[in-house]
Amino acid sequence: MEYDYAYFKNIADFVKERLSFEPEVGVILGSGLGKFADTIENPTVLPYSEIPGFPVSTVASHAGKLIAGTVNGKKVICMAGRFHHYEGYDFRLLSLPIRLFKLLGVKTAIVTNAAGGVNTAYRVGDVMLIRDHIKLTSLSPMEGPNVGEFGERFFDVSDMYTRKLRDLAKSLAPDSGLRLQEGVYMYFAGPQFETPAEIRMARLLGADAVGMSTVTEALTAAHCGMPLLGMSVITNMAAGVIPDAVINHEEVGAAAAEIGDRFVRFVGEIIKAL
């Protein structure tokens, strides 16, 4: 399939016709973090399956809905559930969420994920502001013909995870009840969890947390010049960090639920302060 400008615009036009406002903030929710969607006031809900040309999330814990409304006085649009390469989706298609936000008028993106802790100083329940990422695969959401309406062929990613937004989040952290960290996220394709050897490699390369999402969204935001805040909830310690521990998706969901209310309030306060 050709993911040209017309593909993205057709989806955006369909969504625009069903919204009564232009959203200021776009939010993408990761595994177990769907509680935020419940805080959106006066919501307009669009199931992914009802949006022509829109992919469908196959992860059971992802609601698969686009929800637009108000949070703390700001107009937001939220993806309750995201898409992953391990679901069979082309890396180029994974540029869709941020490009849709851009076409809808969004000025700031907030992306969240559930991640495995690599840094041995981290604990389950910590929230890591993403400062940078490591992606060893050569695949990119910007491969193929450049869609010039969104950005230039070659683009800078040195402030991809926008420093000003990280500083804002840090200023709000003392009242959040959360233990805030800041570090490097390393992308693995999944869907299997990483091996202990891969986690040792990740630590040697400078990673603090690992996961299976987010980097395509961050790269797309950098391409189209959209400020982005990325946050990882540490829902488990990665393979081998705790000897003989077994990792499963239920553990991830339970850990996310444990800090869910505090994290939702924190994201809401960030949106309020933008």
Give the contacts of 6 (CB within 8 A, at least 6 positions apart): none
Per-residue pLDDT, 240:
73
The residues assigned a catalytic role are 31, 62, 84, 86-87, 114, 212-213, 236, 249
Per-residue pLDDT, 190:
84
Closest to 116 (Cα-Cα) out of 216, 263, 245: 245
Location of structure tokens 């959106």: 40
φ, ψ of residue 232 to 5 degrees: the values are -110, 130
Burial string for 229-259 (b: 16+ CB within 10 Å, else e) reads: bbbbbbbbbbbbbeeeeebebeebbebbeeb
Kindly give the residue spans of alpha helices, DSSP state H, lying in the chain: 5-16, 96-104, 163-172, 196-205, 215-223, 249-258, 260-273
Per-residue pLDDT of the chain (274 residues; tens, 9 = 90+): 789 999 999 999 999 999 989 999 999 998 667 788 899 999 999 999 999 989 877 665 556 899 999 999 999 999 998 888 988 899 999 999 999 999 999 999 999 999 999 999 999 999 999 999 999 999 999 999 999 999 999 999 999 999 999 999 999 999 999 999 999 999 999 899 999 999 999 999 999 999 999 999 999 999 999 999 999 999 988 877 877 677 666 766 677 777 788 999 999 999 999 9
Per-residue pLDDT, 63:
66
pTM here? 0.93
Q: Which domains, ranges and CATH numbers included, belong to the chain?
A: 5-273 (3.40.50.1580)
Per-residue pLDDT, 62:
53
For the chain, the maximum distance between any two Cα atoms, rounded to a whole number of angstroms, is 53
| Neighbour count for residue 64 (Cβ, 10 Å) | 19
| Neighbour count for residue 42 (Cβ, 10 Å) | 9
